[in-house]
Structure 1
Amino acid sequence: MARDRRPPGRRGLPGLGKLFDMVDFMYLSGWQKFFERRLQRYGSTVFTTPLFTKTVVATDHKAISALFDTIPFIQDYGFGSAVPPKPLVGDVAPSVFETGVLHDNPKAFYFSLLRHRATSLPAVFEEVLREYEVRWASRGRFAWRDEIETFTMDFVLRWILELKFDTAKVRLIYNNIFTNHLWRVARFFPWTRYSRSLRYYGEFVRAIEEASSFEAIMEIARTFGISDRAYVAKQIAFLTGMNSYLGLQNLFKSIVGELSSRADIRSDLDLQLRDAAPGALFSPRVRAVDEFVMEVLRQHPPVFFIFGRAIEDVVLESASGSFDIAKGERLMGVIPFAHDDPEAFPDPASFQPERFQDDEARAKLIWPRGIQERPADTADRTCPGKDVALLLAHAFCTALVTRYQWTVVKPITWDKHRYSLNVAAPMGELEVAGFTIRDERAGRPV
């Protein structure tokens, strides 16, 4: 390897450094200041930390691009300590944590399943949304956070599986799936969150296997060499509950948060949408809405981190220079910081959807684990539902702008301290008052 230099930073003593950085990240500094302080301390956008495990952290867009653009980094995660308790995934590792055919074949199956369900998506989304809008309009004040979670889970299950299931049970499982740290103790007490989650998980998997659509799903799975019914049901449970539900509800909440805070943008989108196709949610796609959704994703990415392991010695190019990365070292890209990189996105602190009128800016948006403009592939780690999620975000935003009026009770804020699965979503309950359904042609409340 040509000698440049090693990334600065503290690797720490085994165990002790990891513990210190984890406590600092989770509780003391919080996620944003944790990285900001190390950026300032080392004067570099690339540095090392024992957080999670010995890791090289990349915070600028140029360095993170190595995870997408070069062969020497592979994204293999493994089923380690930072993933759910195995009983909550049916003692079957979700395919996202696998490598080779154990990752690629299930992902090809997911692509095929999405294509199989594609024609029903607009009708199911419209049906579920119409049910929930009546429910929301009938209430005085309500917590939209919880309602968006329920709506999202209900829609995902009814679209993918043609299944109606208790959404509260599924939300309990997957909203907390990474925080059951003491599950080996909690399993002995039936009233604990973990024990309830485990019971509900068993019910959920059985409901999937008994769903009317499951035989058709199995036919698709068999074409990819996957024939174990229990295995498929458990993978589908994780796909719908973890990947689809958690990602979508974060995105939907952030769309609500930004629209609630930006009356000027909301009004401008309303005018453009009514000129384009009054009442239509899925076609034609209005570029201004796509630009708004992209800016939401830039400022509030549902996926914060992406990891890669060097399979050979490599020189990492970054905004702070070139760094030697040794074979076997782990690189962690911090997506929120890459999206705040002024070299990639000028004036990054301001909310400017119009920045995505520029194709160069669109090509730099990272969503969800790769560059947004590139198609997902079976061998990469980009979510197979990436493009479906953007389609749904466009439809949800269109409905909010053209069909409803509402007022949030408290100003919208995002958490820059506490890291969680919902960190991309606004803080609090998103309490709403005065939710009304508008006359879609005249724009008046009904």
Structure 2
Amino acid sequence: MEATTRVTTVSQLPLQNIPGTYGVPYFGAIKDRLDFFWFQGIETFFKSRVEKYNSTVFRVNMPPGPPGFPDPRVITLLDQKSFPTLFDIDRVEKRDVFVGTYMPSVSYTGGYRVLPYLDPSEERHTKLKTFCFELIKDNGRELFFEFSKALEESFLVWESSLAKCGTASFSTECVQFAFNFLFRAIVHKDPVAPGEASLGTEGGIYASLWTAPQLIPVTNIGLPHPIEELFLHSFPLPFILVESPYNSIFKFISTYATDALAKANELGLNRDDATHNLLFFLCFNAFGGFNIFLPSVVKAIAGAGPKLMRELAAEVKDVLATTGENKITLQALEKMALVNSVTYECFRLNPPVPYQYGRAKKDFIIESHDASYKIKNGEMLFGYQPFATRDPKVFVDPDTFVPKRFLGPEGEKLISSVFWSNGRETDEPSVGNKQCPAKDLVVTISRLFVAEMFNRYERFELAPSPVGPPSPTSLVTFISLKKKNTSS
């Protein structure tokens, strides 16, 4: 099934000019960038403009912009009706817009434009996305098994750290287990195991170091404002800063991923091209996504309190008792309705990819809930996903974590309004669209994470979050983990 969303071209809503301004050339973009990162922050940046223009569609400059980056001018789409235009490949081109209005140098990916930067109209897109589908089909069981195995190892690390120090870093250990399970399952080699290309315990750190400079231009990492603006937000960072860790991961994949690279060869892909793409799939898409999303799941559940934790633990226990299983299986997961609802609510509130971009292929009409607007060929469209998935005209109490939101027939209807994968949750990825090929697998693994946590623990507590705006460097830290049927 093709997962494109058709945008009505003949609207019954009043046609209006798109509000907003880009300001004075160059300086208007700088002002918007300062508002985005410092003076307002991301949430207020968008909310204030929605209120100012009385519209969820408006013009603005998106960081990073000048002096070292391309044209920052975008048309912003922030509601459930207009946002899906970004999924419609008949109307928008997705070429070179994966992380923003700019594309990091191809030196970060071995000189290749990797899959996320390709438009479905390009032949390599079809081959590389097929490669992704084949990897998932061939390794789905291993991914499920290796995730549980790696998480079990992390349980022991957290419990030992709590016993010795009174605290245990979820975030730090997440880097280790996410990297390990992905590489064990797809490359079929433990990164820590001895060998000519062994990564030891540095694999996750290497992946994080390589990913960071590609995202830093659109990220606030908490350094003093002048330093970030001058050195991190104004010009692209050179690949040479992370060349060594990248080459180490590349060597590991090239040496051990024989099955995956043989599959790529069958699909007519150059081995070097396939290796760089496989590295990107594993380290940027999958590893990066889990390191963003899983901490947000832990924080959301902790914030909901002990009652939800007791209910999750009870559901896991009851399902396993009913199925006669002594471990979490795919069949058992399908029966865990609350686990499923909690997972979708986490995707709704904190989609791991917050931004979506696409360039209009032609003139067409777009609709918000209240008006219609003319989009011109060549204009850049942008959507801030967490705003669209908190649309008050679709979700009750949209900014609140509601664990049971997706339960029952009415709750299930809302699943189509969950966006995180470059498509609706009810759409299917295909070689002809840009939806994440691992969309279903990522949801399953995320549900497995929740189920495994409450198969082992009755509840947990986190250290208080640091004062101030959220930062990618903010750590999630356990201060207690109460195991089932124990007093510890």
What TM-score does the superposition give when structure 2 sets the normalisation length?
Answer: 0.81
Q: Residue 235 of structure 1: CA displacement?
A: 0.8
Distance 2:38 2:366 in 1: 31
- 1:306 partner SS: strand
1:120 aligns to 2:165 (yes or no)? no
- Look up the match of 1:66: 85
Distance 1:210 1:184, change over 3 A: farther
- Corresponding residue SS for 1:354: coil
RMSD: 2.6
Q: Shift in Å at residue 144 of structure 1?
A: 1.4
Letter in 2 for 1:93: R
Q: Aligned residue for 1:18?
A: 29
Shift of 1:75: 2.7
Tell me the equivalent position of 2:50: 39
Partner of 2:290, secondary structure, is helix
- For 2:32 and 2:386, the matched residues in 1 are separated by 19
For residue 374 of structure 2, give the secondary structure of its aligned residue in structure 1: strand
Preserved CA contact (<8 Å) 1:25 1:34: yes
User: What is aligned with 1:191?
Assistant: none
Q: Is the 8 A contact 2:115 2:128 kept in 1?
A: yes
Partner AA of 1:428 in structure 2: S
Contact 2:74–2:382 at 8 Å: present in 1 too? yes
The verdict on how the C-alpha distance between 1:196 and 1:94 changes in structure 2, with shifts beyond 3 A counting, is same
Question: Given the alignment of the two structures, is residue 396 of structure 1 paired with residue 435 of structure 2, yes or no?
Answer: no
Tell me the residue number matched to 2:186: 160
1:379 to partner: Cα distance: 2.1
Superposed CA deviations along residues 25-81 of structure 1, whole A, max 9, x for unmatched, are 122211111111111111111101132422111111111123335732333335887
Whole-angstrom CA distance in 1 between matches of 2:259 and 2:102: 34
Superposed, which structure 2 residues align to 1:204-215 within 5 Å?
Answer: 204-211=249-256, 214-215=257-258
How far apart are residue 121 of structure 1 and its match? 2.4
Q: Which amino acid aligns with 1:169?
A: Y
Q: Does 1:93 align with 2:139?
A: no
User: Does the alignment pair 1:82 with 2:132?
Assistant: no
Q: CA deviation at 1:152?
A: 0.9
Q: Determine if the alignment matches structure 1 residue 219 to structure 2 residue 219.
A: no
Distance 1:354 1:313 in 2: 41
Change (3 A) 1:33 1:177: same
Question: Which deviates more from structure 2 when the two are superposed, residues 106-115 or residues 327-336?
Answer: 327-336
Aligned twin of 1:361 = 414
Amino acid at match of 2:177: F
Distance (Å, rounded) in 1 between the aligned partners of 2:235 and 2:387: 36
2:368 is the alignment partner of 1:318: yes
2:82 aligns to what SS in structure 1?
helix
Q: Assess, with a 3 A threshold, how the Cα gap between structure 1 residues 46 and 104 changes in structure 2: closer, same or farther.
A: same
Where does structure 1 lack aligned partners over 5 or more consecutive residues? 188-193
Q: For 1:381, what is the secondary structure of its paired residue?
A: coil
State the 1:233 CA deviation: 1.2
Take 2:474 and 2:237, find their aligned partners in 1: how far apart are those partners?
Answer: 27
Normalising by structure 1, report the TM-score. Answer: 0.88
The 3-state SS of whatever aligns with 2:341 is helix
The answer to whether the 8 Å contact 2:309/2:458 transfers is no
**What code does the residue aligned with 1:84 have?**
P
Matches within 5 A, 1:297-446: 297-357=347-407, 358-404=411-457, 407-412=460-465, 422=472, 428-435=474-481, 437-438=483-484, 443-444=485-486
Q: 1:415 to 1:322 in 2, by over 3 A?
A: farther
Structure 2: runs of 5+ lacking an equivalent: 1-8, 64-71, 192-198, 218-230
* 8 Å Cα contact 2:131-2:263 kept in structure 1: yes
CA–CA separation in structure 2 for the residues paired with 1:325 and 1:185: 30
Bigger shift: residues 126-135 or 409-418: 409-418
2:341/2:403 contact within 8 Å kept: yes
Query: Would you say the 8 A contact 1:340–1:348 is kept in 2?
Result: yes
Distance 1:337 1:111, change over 3 A: same
Query: Residues 16 and 371 of structure 2 are in contact (CA less than 8 Å); yes or no, is this contact kept in structure 1?
Result: no
1:277 partnered with 2:352:
no
Shift of 1:412: 4.7
Q: Distance in 2 between matches of 1:51 and 1:339?
A: 20
Against the structure 1 CA distance between its residues 392 and 409, is the aligned structure 2 distance closer, same or farther, given a 3 Å change threshold?
closer
Q: Is the 8 A contact 1:261 1:412 kept in 2?
A: no
> Structure 1 residues 345, 300: CA separation in 2 closer, same or farther (over 3 Å shift)?
same
Give the percent of matched residue pairs that are identical in Structure 1 and Structure 2.
23
Once residues 12 and 353 of structure 1 are traced to their aligned partners in structure 2, the CA distance between those partners, rounded to angstroms, is: 42
Report SS of the residue matched to 1:324: strand
Deviation per CA, 1:388-446, whole angstroms, max 9, x where unpaired? Answer: 1111111110111120256435335898666xxx4xxxx722222233544xxxx4357
Q: Hey, what's the Cα distance between the residues in 1 that align with 2:470 and 2:15?
A: 34
1:94 & 1:445 partners in 2: Cα distance?
A: 50
Contact 1:83 1:178 in 2 (8 A): no
Residue 190 of structure 1: aligned partner: none
Contact in 1 for aligned 2:265/2:271 (Cα 8 Å): no
